[in-house]
Structure 1
Amino acid sequence: MSDSLPVIIAILVVLLVLGGGVLLATGMGRSKGRHAAAKRPARDSFRKGGEDDAPPPLKRVGVVLNPTKVEDVEATRELVRTTVAKHAGWDEPIITETTAEDPGFGQTRAVLEQGVDLVCAIGGDGTVRAVAHVLTGTSTPMGLIAAGTGNLLGRNLEVPLDIAEGLDVALTGRNRRIDVGWVTLDPDPVQESTEELDPAHDGPTEPDVGASDETGSAAAENQFAFLVMAGLGLDASIMHQTSEEAKARIGWGAYVAAGARNILGARFQTRLRIDGGEPIRHTARSVVVGNVGRLTGGITLMPDAEVDDGILDVVAITPKGIVGWAGVAVHVLAKRERRHPRIERYRCQSVLVELDHPQLVEVDGDVIGEAREVRFEVRPKALIIRTPTATQAAAVATTPGD
């Protein structure tokens, strides 16, 4: 046992560093189609009524609920209704549930078509990503309601982890525009990476419905949104080899088992083209691209990452063996500022990753396929998120939690 203990510790730490809460996100299917962009809410859409004699029209919130992430679906529905009813100016919410076939794309389009002023996602990182994909490039705000085990975007934005408190923030908080990352697998030369999003446009092509792969995700178009992190190599391999059954049976230990099988796997040759520049060659085990830097447990993989700076942070991790991985883990956990020889960092608006052979790719914990070329780019401030006011943020900061 004493001989194996360092290996076990290294595997646990490395899994936290690479996956963090992203590894806890559930794999999700994808659906096709686009929605008509919702009309921009009036400037005072989230303010109290003015001095007009006639009362202002009631606002309405659409809620996309992942039923697998809550213990009691009906109780959660009732909690949503009673919480919304406490806030003046809001009509009864429209609540719709995700399915195995559609993790939130179609449901989000459906509530938008009913003219809602706000869309809230109740679920894990996969549900949040699906709703955000549809809302990207629109003027309809999004509320983050924690129900899964990851919720890394909400944690980075200091959104409460309690469902009722999260709804309070969504209904009474403030708007904040954040960046959205976009991944293109094996991009065609005609797909311009500099494409601009029209404010009334609903974002690039949404995933299409098709045959399911082994993880339950649907076959898709080659473009995918991400809000937290995306990557290829070790982290994607771990997600691919961790079944839903194993997660249900042994929880986080399922990722440890998958990590133990993969951590000493072969490295791969990669060329990084940062913002269209000359290729930078690495022999890597993992390449991670982030929109935020803080992971579960306070671990910071990308110390300079900001969710609204219009920049992606790229980390190429190139360790050799378990000793190399241990060195990487200690460096990250100790938050050392000096450069580590096995961690290369870049900051950019886009990066094209060229590989010597296909690698699995994941976005916010969902494996989306494999590719020999992967383009990551940022859509600056393309999504509006409801975040706490100063008073609400102070209340969250004083509440015990992780």
Structure 2
Amino acid sequence: MPEMWVWILVAVVVLLLVVAVVAGRGRQRADATEPEPESPAPESRPEPAAEPRRPRAAVVVNPTKFDDVEQVRAEITEVCAELGWDEPLWFETTEDDPGSGQTKEAMAAGVDVICPLGGDGTVRAVGSELTEARSTIPLGLLPGGTGNLLARNLDLPIASLRDALLIALTGDDRPVDVGLLTVTPVPVDGEPEVDDAPIDADALAPQDRGPGKIHFLVMAGMGFDADVMADAPEKLKSAMGWPAYLVSGVKHLWGPQFKAHVTTDDEDFTRRTRSVLIGNVGRIQGLTLMPEAEIDDGHLDALVLSPTGGVGWGAVALRLATAQRKGHHRVTHHTTRRVTVAADRHVQVQVDGDTIGERTRIEATVLPSALRVRVDPNRPAPSGASAAR
């Protein structure tokens, strides 16, 4: 009997131990599941607002056209800052690269407008690269050099850099046509140019050899006009400006004609001529050579001049001065999308005022609305613009 009470006591102790262990484990689980007290959240601070992107221009400048190029740069930078634009990118042309590589860099930088500054050659180089790339970045025209031919035809400022820059930064974008000239070929060594000076084919730039394609924005020409531009001395142009071409023009006034086979969209004829001009626009220095030419009509205009002697040139001058288009055998006008001129000998050729050497054949086609140009929003486009003929 006493042994039984011993076993009962042992059983009670074991039971109490089991209950104590189970209860302890329950408390541990409760402690484990009880959430830790939350630490105070750090004070939230608003993110600083991102600075809005400012528009940016690129300037492709020919430094040889200016006596103090740094002063010009400072003036452009100042105007950009006044209008809330970022500091402009600045690219200077070189003898080896008159603007093509610089324009590619500007496009890659994602600028909002590219401004050539340095003459018609710089304008053509920048415009050509934009056209080739099919870029929508507009061309902003700044006055430089002698001619400023495209700016004049678009009635843009040519006497004030500031006024021109204001339009380049804030003006409207106007799609314009571009001409594409295919030239063939370069003369061989020793073959005379129009002015009888021998030419060294190996000395010409690669783009002046053999067949090639060249964009033009204003005019291309074969014959008298190219002779005049080739023979106008740079020093005289710097000193006198446009009148320097008159000096050269008098020298070549009685130069020889050449036989030209001209083919347009709807005409095919052969004529002895002194000059064939192909225009994307119609005016040069206030003289309207092609009255019906429009820069955005999807056409080119060709002018064939066939004077004979001083009397013939007088008739040509009168015809051009009165802006008459038809009815004279010495001056004929032709409107077309494509024109080919094949000469019976090598003849000097110019593109937007820059000569490219002698050629025997040129073919021009129009690239409609291939380039955007910044224009004055307060000056409406001509009434005939953009209307197909």
After TM superposition, the score normalised by the length of structure 1 is 0.73
Counterpart in the other structure of 2:253: 263
1:153-232 alignment runs, 5 A limit: 153-161=150-158, 162-186=160-184, 212-213=203-204, 219=208, 222-232=212-222
Counterpart in the other structure of 1:281: 270
Q: Which one of 110, 126, 132 corresponds to residue 127 of structure 2?
A: 132
Aligned-partner residue type, residue 371 of structure 1:
R
Q: Does 1:77 align with 2:77?
A: no
Give the 3 Å change call, closer, same or farther, for CA 86–248 of structure 1 in structure 2. Answer: closer
CA distance in 1, matches of 2:289, 2:146: 19
Q: Does 1:94 align with 2:89?
A: yes
Contact 2:325 / 2:333 at 8 angstroms: preserved in 1? no
Q: For structure 2, which runs of at least 5 residues remain unmatched after alignment?
A: 1-48, 186-200, 381-389
1:112-151 alignment runs, 5 A limit: 112-136=107-131, 137-151=134-148
Deviations 1:118-147 (A, max 9, x none): 111112111111110101121111100012
Give the 3 Å change call, closer, same or farther, for CA 111–338 of structure 1 in structure 2. Answer: closer
Aligned-partner residue type, residue 131 of structure 1:
V
1:255 deviation in Å?
A: 2.8
CA distance in 2, matches of 1:289, 1:338: 16
Secondary structure of 1:315's aligned partner: strand
Counterpart in the other structure of 1:108: 103
1:76 deviation in Å?
A: 0.4
Aligned-partner residue type, residue 153 of structure 1:
L
Counterpart in the other structure of 1:68: 64
Aligned-partner residue type, residue 117 of structure 2:
I
Give the 3 Å change call, closer, same or farther, for CA 180–159 of structure 1 in structure 2. Answer: same
1:149 deviation in Å?
A: 2.0
CA distance in 2, matches of 1:253, 1:177: 32
Counterpart in the other structure of 1:57: 53
CA distance in 1, matches of 2:117, 2:320: 31
Q: Does 1:233 align with 2:228?
A: no
Aligned-partner residue type, residue 270 of structure 2:
R
After TM superposition, the score normalised by the length of structure 2 is 0.75
Secondary structure of 2:180's aligned partner: strand
Secondary structure of 1:160's aligned partner: coil
Contact 2:146 / 2:242 at 8 angstroms: preserved in 1? no
Counterpart in the other structure of 2:303: 315
CA distance in 2, matches of 1:355, 1:217: 22
Aligned-partner residue type, residue 334 of structure 1:
T
Give the 3 Å change call, closer, same or farther, for CA 146–211 of structure 1 in structure 2. Answer: farther
Counterpart in the other structure of 1:372: 360
Aligned-partner residue type, residue 314 of structure 2:
A
Counterpart in the other structure of 1:362: 350
Higher relative contact order (CA 8 A, sep 6+): 1
Secondary structure of 1:143's aligned partner: coil
Contact 1:212 / 1:218 at 8 angstroms: preserved in 2? no
CA distance in 1, matches of 2:287, 2:236: 25
CA distance in 2, matches of 1:252, 1:91: 35
Aligned-partner residue type, residue 142 of structure 1:
L
Aligned-partner residue type, residue 284 of structure 2:
L
Deviations 1:235-276 (A, max 9, x none): 11122222324434665554334323321111111111113x
CA distance in 2, matches of 1:372, 1:312: 20
CA distance in 1, matches of 2:140, 2:241: 27
| Count of aligned positions | 313
1:350 deviation in Å?
A: 0.6
1:3-14 alignment runs, 5 A limit: none
CA distance in 2, matches of 1:59, 1:267: 52
1:108 deviation in Å?
A: 0.8
Deviations 1:83-107 (A, max 9, x none): 000112x221101111222211111
Aligned-partner residue type, residue 233 of structure 1:
G
Aligned-residue identity in percent = 42
Aligned-partner residue type, residue 256 of structure 2:
A
Give the 3 Å change call, closer, same or farther, for CA 149–321 of structure 1 in structure 2. Answer: same
1:386-401 alignment runs, 5 A limit: 386-390=374-378, 393=379
CA distance in 1, matches of 2:167, 2:238: 31
CA distance in 2, matches of 1:104, 1:160: 22
CA distance in 2, matches of 1:335, 1:91: 45
Please give the root-mean-square deviation of Cα atoms over the aligned residues, in Å: 2.2
Contact 1:312 / 1:377 at 8 angstroms: preserved in 2? yes
Secondary structure of 2:342's aligned partner: strand
Aligned-partner residue type, residue 260 of structure 2:
T
Higher mean Cα deviation, 238-247 or 168-177? Answer: 238-247
Give the 3 Å change call, closer, same or farther, for CA 352–169 of structure 1 in structure 2. Answer: same
CA distance in 2, matches of 1:357, 1:143: 39
Contact 2:261 / 2:342 at 8 angstroms: preserved in 1? yes
Secondary structure of 1:149's aligned partner: coil
CA distance in 2, matches of 1:361, 1:121: 23
1:320 deviation in Å?
A: 0.5
Deviations 1:209-246 (A, max 9, x none): x9654xx8964561111111110001111222223244
CA distance in 2, matches of 1:184, 1:170: 31
